[in-house]
Structure 1
Amino acid sequence: MSARVAIIGRPNVGKSTLFNRLVGRKLALVDDEPGVTRDRREGDARLADLAFTIVDTAGLEESDPETLAGRMRAQTEAALEDCDAILFVVDARAGLTSADRHFAQAVRRAGKPIIVIANKAEGGAARDGVYDAFGLGLGDPIALSAEHGEGLSELYDALVEVLPRSARLDPDEEEAPEPLVLGDEEDGSELDLAKPLRIAVLGRPNAGKSTLINHILGQDRLLTGPEPGITRDSIGLDAEWRGRKLKIFDTAGLRRRSRVVGKVEKLAVADALRAVRFAEVVVLLLDATIPFEKQDLTLADLVEQEGRALVIGLNKWDLIDNKSDKARELRAEADRLLPQLRGTRVIPVSGLTGAHVEKLMEAIVATDAIWNTRISTGRLNRWLKPVVDTTPPPAVAGRQVKIRYITQPKARPPFFVLFGNSVASIPESYKRYLVNGLRETFGLIGVPIRLSMRSGGDNPYAGKKRRG
């Protein structure tokens, strides 16, 4: 288990900027508005030869446990309990505040090694604030600028003193073994089981995304509640299901573009869309009591455009009466409203009770396998010939379009190239006919299909006898 370091401090002292600096990427949302971070966010940090898990946190304000602020505090307290060391961050420009002193008392009670960070210490104007930080009685502060990367060598020296020896990287450590890859000899499909399957959970506000992920994880890891828009950052969480490693991304609820006005919400939307682009499977979570709203269809279309695999989850299924009839109705509705993703798996689920979560996970893994499918050129052309003979493409300007052969150069999503003369002039309706045939024949459900047209080329399989 890697060493864990929690970043603690009042709002707007630069905790998320420091988090981003240590992980080497802009993972956490950063804005001048205080309180942007609500959940605890983890990342793999590197500082010279130190490797550890860094945890960004919200606040420690005293509030009723049932309020949003109270639940945020509970998340921060969980990070304190689970860490090996604490980076207590203050704003060197602003100097110490009563909130800093209040937080310092809470941090001291945690009984963990504490490193005081006087952040925003670039330039001489912050010198007095750095000296003020001595008054916390938590040891010598480190003058640091997370934005500009100043003071990291001093931070390294302090972390070396408090982190376990296991946090130091061994320069002679052997390289990691090659990942286990399972392939199909005929189709050439490949599935890398060493890398975690990346899953993004997408949906409108209050669809129950965080609640569902908490149930999958088996713990109240994510902040939940009745308030819409609690989740802001797209938080990636490690999990495992039936021996398969997963990386699940919780995302902010996405409203119609016209309703997104605040800067922080715009940042959250951009973060959610980035999670979709880096995912392999997207779970579009709908509220089963009001499914297939216009925004739901817009999000499904976004997933298709990005080329991701899609599974639709109908959450809050515990609130639905006549479940069997309703399930059939909504599956038919999905095919009608999303013809570009016909056959997509639609799974009723309840994040609150855990009903059908296993079925949802099975659908995710199965859809990922389809997204990775490679179909041999031989099989494709044995399918293509009778399809074209039965329903040839329409003539263009009085000239017959001759389709010679089809091949699949890549997967993720399945991508096919059709060769022949004048194929670029084939109308969209005939392309849909071919795509629907590919989807139905080869079971390519829940994934986008890309079809490209190229002129020329001789069928390498023409005249060859069929094997088997």
Structure 2
Amino acid sequence: MSITVALIGRPNVGKSTLFNRLVQRRAAIIKDIPGVTRDRREGDARLGNLNFRIIDTAGLDDSNSESFASRIMDQTKTAIHTADIILMLVDGRLGVTPFDQHIAKMMHESGKKTILVLTKCEGTSGDLSIPDAWGLGFGCPIPISAEHAEGLSDLHDVLSSCFRENFDCDVDSSKLDKKKKSLPSLKISIVGRPNVGKSTLLNRILGEERSITGPESGLTRDSVSVEWDYMGRIIQLVDTAGLRRRAKVVDGIEKLSAADARRSLGKSEVVIIMFDGSVEPSKQDFSIASLAISEGRAPLIVLNKWDCVKNSKNQLLGYNNLISRTLSQAKGISIIPLSALSGNGIELLMPAVLDAHRCWNQRIKTAELNQWLAMTLEHHPPPLSAGRRIKMRYITQVKSRPPTFTIFCNLPTELPESYLRYLVNSLRDEFNLLGVPIRINLKKGKNPYVK
């Protein structure tokens, strides 16, 4: 049995800092201003011998606009409903505020086991808040400092006791970790410019309101990772923040969000690049696509908001021509027109994702590669270099993900780029490596007669 713990509290009380401490990496964006976290974020936490699922939530605040606050509240209510245990965080420096009392009332009404944690208590800075914290009705508060790892042993003892008393399970869930690692998984990131519908697509795939959506641009800040079961296969979907041109990014939080999105892209296997299909593509759309290809990921283009397109046939033809010219390094990339809001065309997405992943993982026999190389050289040999013939003797695939090949030749530095592109395109057509980046490395073989 896996136990889920949710972090609940006002903005800027240290929920994301504690989340990062428990998952043992910088997963959530941290900045010393209120309201940085918006979507709930999940991760695998470890505290001593305790292994559990942790949920980071947005800060509950009554100062947001009514519609935006209600969307945040819905996400937090979902986290409270999902969790087995609540860690209610209170800023130990500021003490208990009236809104902390309001949140405590919500926790009592939820009926969930709640542990009160005083954060930012370096040394004795939170001692004055302990008497007021007792009045919230959750027993003895636990003063900690997540940033400096102080008080975590006390939190471990309380959580361990709570696990044993309220849940009939072994607190050391290493068996669960081993089982989880044995499951086949596929990591997919959804990237694109702001407000192209990335979060809406994630919600449509999952069939639930997992990420906050709305007409406002730039709602998503943290990269939201969600595990999803697709036909018995574990899929890890990652919704990322919108990427704008670097010159236009001046806000510190947006810089952190963009860096987090690029980091998620680099760790993915398949990258869904979302375009707004109702308008003409911009240079930034292709810059994001080129980034995914240069990182060696398996790319896939989704034309969202397709229900708003009037002449869809001509629009799709124009997109196909433009993408094939601009993204020639991933010739044959799949293009899926759909509407994430209505769900039209969504059934085409996952088969295309799995096809791209299969091509990205493909391995080709060395004998077949050398047969192809011999026929290619016979049909179109490389040009001479200063009167010398470039001899290509042998080819082998050194790795997949993406498909990477090494060709042994006598003059590797003299082969023109145009001929190398010809080899890539011929290799792609011969072995059906459509839509994935292909890398060819040239290497000079050793002369066996030289001592």
The interval holding the TM-score normalised by the smaller chain is: over 0.9
Contact 1:3 1:166 in 2 (8 A): no
1:16 is matched by which residue type in structure 2?
S
2:285 to 296, 299, 311: 296
* Corresponding residue to 1:362 among 351, 359, 371: 351
Q: How far off its partner does 1:243 sit?
A: 2.2
- 1:399 aligned to which of 388, 397, 402: 388
Query: 1:225 matched to which residue of 2?
Result: 214
**Aligned amino acid, residue 305 of structure 2:** K
Scaled by the length of structure 1, the TM-score of the pair is: 0.91
Residue 393 of structure 1 and its aligned partner are, at CA, apart by: 1.0
Change (3 A) 1:269 1:121: same
1:271-310 matched pairs, under 5 angstroms: 271-310=260-299
C-alpha distance in 2 between matches for 1:372 and 1:166: 39
How do residues 440-459 of structure 1 correspond to structure 2 at under 5 angstroms?
A: 440-456=429-445
Displacement of 1:322 in angstroms is 2.7
Displaced runs of 4+ in structure 1, greater than 4 A? 62-66, 170-179
**RMSD, aligned α-carbons:** 2.0
Displacement after TM superposition at 1:159 (Å): 1.5
User: What displacement does 1:165 show?
Assistant: 2.8
Deviates more, 1:331-340 or 1:258-267: 331-340
- Say if 1:16 and 1:28, in contact at 8 Å, map to a contact too: yes
The 2-side partners of 1:104 and 1:296 are apart by: 45
Which of 405, 419, 423 is the equivalent residue of 2:408? 419
Give the letter for the 1:406 counterpart: I
CA contact (8 A) 2:385 2:414 kept: yes
- Please give the alpha-carbon distance, in whole angstroms, between the structure 2 residues aligned to 1:13 and 1:283: 35
Are 1:234 and 2:223 an aligned pair? yes
| 1:50 partner letter | L
Superposition deviation, residue 376 in structure 1:
1.0
> Would you say how many aligned residue pairs link Structure 1 and Structure 2?
445
In 1, Cα distance between the equivalents of 2:69 and 2:190?
24
Structure 1 position 47 matched with structure 2 position 47: yes
Partner of 1:379: 368
> Shift in Å at residue 64 of structure 1?
8.8
| Unaligned ranges ≥5, structure 1 | 180-193, 459-468
Counterparts in 2 of 1:231 and 1:427: CA distance versus 1, 3 Å: same
- For 1:319 and 1:63, the matched residues in 2 are separated by 35
Q: Are 2:141 and 1:153 aligned? A: no
Amino acid at match of 1:55: I
- In structure 2, how many angstroms separate the alpha carbons of the residues matched to 1:2 and 1:26? 23
- TM-aligned CA deviation for residue 195 of structure 1: 2.5
The letter of the residue matching 1:417 is: T
Partner Cα separation in structure 1 for residue 106 and residue 174 of structure 2 = 38
1:340 positional shift: 1.0
Q: Does 1:260 align with 2:263?
A: no
- 1:104 aligned onto 2:104: yes
Alignment of 1:125-144 (within 5 A): 125-144=125-144
Residue in structure 2 matched with residue 189 of structure 1 by the alignment? none
**C-alpha distance 106-299 of structure 1, shift in aligned 2 (>3 A):** same
Partners of 1:170 and 1:398 lie apart in 2 by 68
5+ unaligned residues in a row in structure 2: which ranges?
A: none
Cα distance in 2, alignment partners of residues 145 and 373 from structure 1: 48
| Cα distance, 1:103 vs structure 2 | 1.8
User: Does the 8 Å contact 1:289/1:319 carry over to 2?
Assistant: yes
Deviations 1:257-293 (A, max 9, x none): 1111111111100100010011000000110012421
User: Does 2:171 correspond to 1:168?
Assistant: yes
Q: What is the DSSP-based 3-state SS (H/G/I as helix, E as strand, rest coil) of the residue aligned with 1:136?
A: coil
Q: Is the 8 A contact 1:286 1:296 kept in 2?
A: yes
Q: Displacement, 1:212? A: 0.6
Partner Cα separation in structure 1 for residue 333 and residue 439 of structure 2: 16
Tell me how far apart the structure 1 counterparts of residues 233 and 118 of structure 2 sit (CA, whole Å). Answer: 42
Alignment partner of 1:311 is 2:300: yes
Query: Matches of residues 67-216 of structure 1 in structure 2 within 5 Å?
Result: 67-163=67-163, 164-166=167-169, 168-169=171-172, 176=179, 179=182, 194-216=183-205
Per the TM alignment, residue 132 of structure 1 is displaced from its structure 2 partner at its CA by 3.1
Secondary structure of 1:36's counterpart equals coil
Change (3 A) 1:345 1:399: same
Change (3 A) 1:125 1:428: same
Q: CA deviation at 1:448?
A: 1.0
Q: CA deviation at 1:62?
A: 4.3
AA partner of residue 226 (structure 1):
P
- Pairing 1:328–2:317 present: yes
For residues 363 and 199 of structure 2, the distance between their equivalents in structure 1, rounded to whole angstroms, comes to: 34
8 Å CA contact 1:404–1:457 kept in 2: the answer is no
Partner of 1:38: 38
Partner amino acid, structure 1, of 2:255 = K
Q: Secondary structure at the match of 1:417?
A: strand
Cα-to-partner distance string for 1:11-53 (whole Å, 9 max, x where unaligned) = 1110000011111111111110110000111111122232211
User: Residue 89 of structure 1 aligns to a residue in which SS?
Assistant: strand
CA–CA distance in 2 between the matches of 1:214 and 1:170? 30
In the superposition, relative to structure 1, how do residues 322 and 169 fare at CA in structure 2: closer, same or farther (>3 Å)?
Answer: same
Q: How far off is 1:408 after superposition?
A: 0.5
SS in 2 for 1:267: helix
Hey, what's the Cα distance between the residues in 1 that align with 2:12 and 2:181? Answer: 43
Q: Distance in 2 between matches of 1:25 and 1:300?
A: 28
Identity of aligned residues (%): 48
Paired residues of 2:12 and 2:59 also in contact (CA < 8 A):
no
Q: Secondary structure at the match of 2:201?
A: helix
User: Separation in 2 of the partners of 1:171 and 1:11?
Assistant: 33
Question: For residue 464 of structure 1, what is the aligned residue in structure 2?
Answer: none
Distance 1:310 1:210 in 2: 18
**Do the aligned partners of residues 247 and 175 (structure 1) sit closer, same or farther apart at CA in structure 2, a change above 3 Å counting?**
closer
* SS at 2:329 equivalent: helix
Indicate yes or no: 2:377 matched with 1:388: yes
